[in-house]
Every structure is written in C-alpha cells, then in structure tokens.
Structure 1
Amino acid sequence: MTRASLDKQPRDVASMFDGVAEKYDVTNTVLSLGQDRFWRKAVARAVDARPGERILDLAAGTGTSSLPFRDAGATVVPCDFSLGMLRAGKRRHPELPFTAGDGMRLPFADGVFDAVTISFGLRNINEPKTGLAELLRVTRPGGRLVVCEFSHPTWRPFRTVYDEYLMRALPPIATRVSSNPDAYVYLAESIRDWPDQPALAALVQDAGWERVAWRDLTGGIVALHRGFKPLAG
C-alpha cells in the first residue's frame, strides 16, 4: 500500500510501518528538519502527565513519544498496530509495556486512562472518528485527549512551498534515508488529503469530546488538538 487514496486497511498500513521500523525515528528527524523533537516536547507539555497517572500513547511506534510521560512519573502504555515497531521499541526500551492494538478496537477496559494521546497516527486509522470514540471510551470522565497531527500551513505562500516539499522533495530524500521509501509517498499524500484544523476539531467534537481547541506548531505544518471527556453522560 503506497497511496493515500487506497483504503487504509489496518493490515496494509501495519505492514508498511513494519518495513520502516528500524530507521523510523532517524528518518523522521531528517525529513522534519529536526522539528520532530520540538513537536514531541509540545505534546508532552499539552498532556501534562503527572506522577501516578495512567497515559495511553496510541500509535507510539518505537516508544520515543512515550518517554516524556514515563520520565514525569506516569504509567504510560505505548500501543501500536505495527508489530515491527513494537519489536524495535521493546529492544530499545524493555521497561515499557508495549501493547499491540488496533485504534478502532482498543484492547483496554472503559475509563482506565487519565489521558490519551496520539501523534501522527490518526491519519492512519481507517475511520478516524471511530478511533477518537475508542479513545473516549478508555478515558476516565474528565480525562484529557491530545492529538498531534500534520495539518495545513496557515500562511498561503508558505503552504505552497510546503506542498512542493511534500510531493517533490520528500520522496527523494526518503529514498536516501529510509528502508521503505514508498511508505513516505503514502505519508506525503495522506498529509495533503488530511482535514484542516477546524475540520479536525469538528471531528473530535463529533466523537464526544468537549472543550475542543487547537494550536498550530511550525506555522500550521502540525496542529495540537485538545479535548476533555465529559464528566457525565
């Protein structure tokens, strides 16, 4: 599977990420020009994990995104549907409880997490609204959601340059640094086709989250969406 226009079947997407697992973190740093580190810090601040809390890090890949929550004293569960990513992560961070799971059918009971987060993975769920509803289900009442996802630059001239980078520059760079360049063709197309910030906020709200808001990072290349599970109902 290499085209965002194809159905995002979990088996296909998982297989694609299996193929890039070993070099995934390095490739992301190269392709984002080092911005991925800044984005992870922004997610950590938004989640605001506290000692004793339980945090679900969905689409955690090799677990790099989970480390700030562990370091804050929370119990973090890195979850992903790519077994290749999970194996690579377990070798690097054997102390973390890596868990295999499909974002549309999470293997957790209702209301067990204080906060749930997903970074750059909501696009890869076949039905994002279903994924957001599943995240709501496993969150305690009053708990919080943080979604970090590629979005749409807000300044039109910059958006044009960014689109050119995605479709022209990113695939050749990926060919040099990635073990599966086709995966990054899919990445570029899925970013281009993803809803903008207000549309994603509406999707989060429709899934049942309240007090939904967002803020842009790096000129809107990435957006952080936040929400809270209602205390009742």
Structure 2
Amino acid sequence: MTRASLDKQPHEVASMFDRVAANYDLTNDVLSLGQDRVWRKEVAKAVDARPGQKVLDLAAGTATSSLPFAATGAYVVPCDFSLGMLMEGKRRNSWLPLTAGDATKLPFKDDVFDTVTISFGLRNVQDTDAALRELYRVTKPGGQVVICEFSQPTWAPLRTVYTEYLMRALPPVARAVSSNPDAYVYLAESIRAWPDQPALAGLLQKAGWSKVAWRNLSGGIVALHRGTKA
C-alpha cells in the first residue's frame, strides 16, 4: 500500500505519510508553486502566538509548521500520528516536544491549550467531527482554533483550472519530486472530496465552536477557518 483511500483508514494514512516524510516539505513547496510559504505566514498571523501561551500544532508532520509559533516564545507541542514524520521532525528540530497522537483521541487533558491549530491535516482524519470535538476539549475556555485547509475556489474559471491541475498536472509533477507519487493522487482526490468553506464552518459549529468565520487564501484554493471556545 503506497497510498491511502478516501475511507482514510488511519494505518493507511499514517503509512503513506511515513513514506514521504524525508522530502515532504520540499515536495509541497514545488507542488504549491511556493504558495505553502504564504499560507504558513497567514496561519502564524491568525494564531498570533504570545510568550507563555500553549499552542497545539496538530498534524504537524516534521514540525516545520510549528517553528513560527515557537519563535514567538510560546510553548508549542507538535503532534502527529505518522511516526515517520515525527522521526524526521526530531532529526531536524530535536528541541521541540514532538508528540505522537491521534486527532480523534488526543493524549492531552481538558482545557490545556490557548490555541489549537491544524494545517492541511484535518482532511486526512477519518472522523472529522471527532477531531473537531477533541480540539475543542483540549482548548482552554476563551481559546481559539485555527484551521488551514484546501477548499473550493470561489471564482468559477479558477475552480476549473485548479481542478484540471489537481487531476492532470499534479500526478506527473509528484512523480518527478516525490518518493511516493501515488500519495499525491490521494491528495488530489481528497481535496476534491473535501467540504467547501460554509460546510466546514458548519462542522465547527456542530462541534461546539462559536464565532466561526473563514477567510479565503489564493482565491479559495485554501481557506483559513477560526473559532472560539466559549
């Protein structure tokens, strides 16, 4: 098994990410045409981490996404269920408290974190509702969630071009730069099957989050959702 299927069996998804860990960040940079760096900056602004705050970075992979939060003086916990990703992250950033954990059964107590965030990982969780409830559980009252995820372009011509890129251009590019190109076929399929912006906002509200809102990035290719724990 070199790729997961859309039923997102946890062992298949974890195994798939284990295989791409070494070149994951480079591959994402190439496939997104460098836009992933812009998206990470927007996430950092939304999280607005402060010294002394506790931040959970779920689906952190190699912990590249955690570095901007740590740079502010916040205490950041990168968490992922791919041991391959965590091992690569530990090799690069041994000082960070990388933690193995399943998004639907987080290994943390209630009301621990000031901010919980997940970038491009919620789409890979088998039970989205359970993950959103778990994020809510481990967040302090008054804390926030920040979710960065692929979404649906709002402009029809861009949506058409983007869909063509996902299904036609992305696989051959992935074959050129990735150690497991089949994983990026799953990537394209999972993006197409993912809820749009209003639908994800509805799932957040269902899980208990209030003041839910989103902002489109790159014309809606990516959306930044936020919510607050009352």
Give the TM-score range, shorter chain.
Answer: over 0.9
Tell me the distance in 2 between the aligned counterparts of 1:20 and 1:38.
22
% identical aligned pairs: 72
8 Å contact kept, 1:103–1:134: yes
1:1-233 map, 5 Å: 2=3, 4-5=5-6, 7-230=7-230
Tell me the distance in 2 between the aligned counterparts of 1:100 and 1:200.
25
AA aligned to 1:99 is: T
Q: 1:3 to 1:96 in 2, by over 3 A?
A: closer
Shift of 1:9: 1.2
CA-to-aligned-CA distance 1:121-180 (integer Å, 9 cap, x gap): 001110111100000000000100000000000000110000000000001100010000
CA-to-aligned-CA distance 1:82-103 (integer Å, 9 cap, x gap): 0000000000001100000000
Tell me the distance in 2 between the aligned counterparts of 1:85 and 1:213.
30
AA aligned to 1:131 is: A
Q: Which runs of 5+ in 2 are unaligned?
A: none
After TM superposition, the score normalised by the length of structure 1 is: 0.97
CA-to-aligned-CA distance 1:166-195 (integer Å, 9 cap, x gap): 000001100010000011000000000000
8 Å contact kept, 1:205–1:212: yes
Q: Which runs of 5+ in 1 are unaligned?
A: none
Give the CA RMSD over aligned residues: 0.7
AA aligned to 1:136 is: Y
After TM superposition, the score normalised by the length of structure 2 is: 0.98
Displaced runs of 4+ in structure 1, greater than 6 A? Answer: none
8 Å contact kept, 1:54–1:113: yes
8 Å contact kept, 2:4–2:16: no
